[in-house]
Structure 1
């Protein structure tokens, strides 16, 4: 079973995953677009999340072993995914996977840095495309320029609607193509800011609400 969700707050994500476990849905995999579950018995699970990507397999395995020794089973996440999911394996395990507030807040800092890095990689590409005219911001003020049919706007009646409806899907595709990089850059910056806010609030021991 797949569920499509996106969270900017680890506490809210953990609560949702714990609720899913209580409904008999066992997390098996986290993807870019959501989560994969397999059916099982309702489980009063305690699931916690860390964000930590690794450059090599050895460090990743050492990381997993460290948590397993503390009573936490690694249930989802890969060496390069960043998102790591743990389930409390026994009652003797600690209630938290983090030893202090700084380490708990650190996952938000790493997540914020990741989103900011992604956004910054798009900025020079976006600037180059705008400066060379490959992306024309003026089309947002003049959507008619996305239609290439000669004399389209001088046509009337059935001839106009036939040509307009035929080209509209192509015009929409051109417009969406122009917006992909700007929209992705803004989204990544927004996610970076959100993660940084959560980092500061976790450090301060307060709460931040969207």
Structure 2
């Protein structure tokens, strides 16, 4: 079974995954949404970390360290960032973090990644502007986006057929670039919220 959801708050995501396990759906993969396998219900303890690794060896050592401590690595890769663990043994405690600072640090790493991704799109936005791919005149006179000869002189069925046929192409020509500022805004929002969660978790008392 696949489910598509998005979380910034790791603790809410952990509780949701635990509830899914309690309903008999166990996390298998997170590459394209959440992929679950139907098995018997289980009261699971699931924790999430956020880490990226440059070397595969470092990622393997990271997973092995948790395996040795009684935490099975459920999903995540060396470059995915999100790492999912399930408690499997009689380990001391129900958390993979030893203190609030290390627990909060995952939000800081996620925030830093979000801000870096937002900044990485800025040069592309500048290039699009300098090469006239971004045309602000389209907001003032969207008729310029339509290339069908004599479109605006047509009437009735002929007009509506031509207009509706070309509108998707016109929108692509005029506003396809808008995904870049929207992406930048989303990443900045993710970074802001993650940094806020970082500060909240850092100040929480055990």
TM superposition score category, shorter chain reference: over 0.9
Structure 2 vs 1, CA of residues 193 and 142 (structure 1 numbering), >3 Å: closer, same or farther?
farther
Q: Which residue of 1 aligns with 2:91?
A: 92
TM-score normalized by the length of structure 1: 0.91
Q: Say which SS state the counterpart of residue 99 (structure 1) adopts.
A: coil
1:110 paired with 2:90, answer no
| Contact 1:71–1:94, Cα closer than 8 Å, also in 2 | no
Aligned to 2:30: 30
Q: Which residue of 1 aligns with 2:169?
A: 170
1:200 aligns to 2:199 (yes or no): yes
Aligned length: 205
Question: Structure 1: how far apart are the matches of 2:186 and 2:136?
Answer: 18
**Matched-pair contact (CA < 8 Å) for 1:115–1:188:** yes
- Which residue matches 1:135? 134
Counterpart of 1:70? 69
Gaps of 5+ in 1: none
**Are the structure 2 counterparts of residues 176 and 28 from structure 1 closer, same or farther at C-alpha, using a change threshold of 3 Å?**
farther
Q: Distance in 1 between matches of 2:50 and 2:76?
A: 9
* Counterpart secondary structure, 1:148: coil
Normalised by the length of structure 2, the TM-score is: 0.93
Distance 2:136 2:186 in 1: 18
**Corresponding residue for residue 4 of structure 2:** 4
The Cα shift of 1:153 comes to: 2.1
Equivalents in 1 of 2:67, 2:98: separation in Å? 15
* Alignment root-mean-square deviation, CA: 1.6
Equivalent position SS for 1:107: helix
Offset of 1:73 from its aligned partner? 1.0
Provide the rounded CA distance (Å) in 2 between the counterparts of 1:141 and 1:50: 47
Structure 2 residues not aligned, in runs of 5+: none
Cα pair 1:72 1:93 within 8 Å, conserved: no
Contact kept in structure 2, 1:4 and 1:35, CA below 8 Å: yes
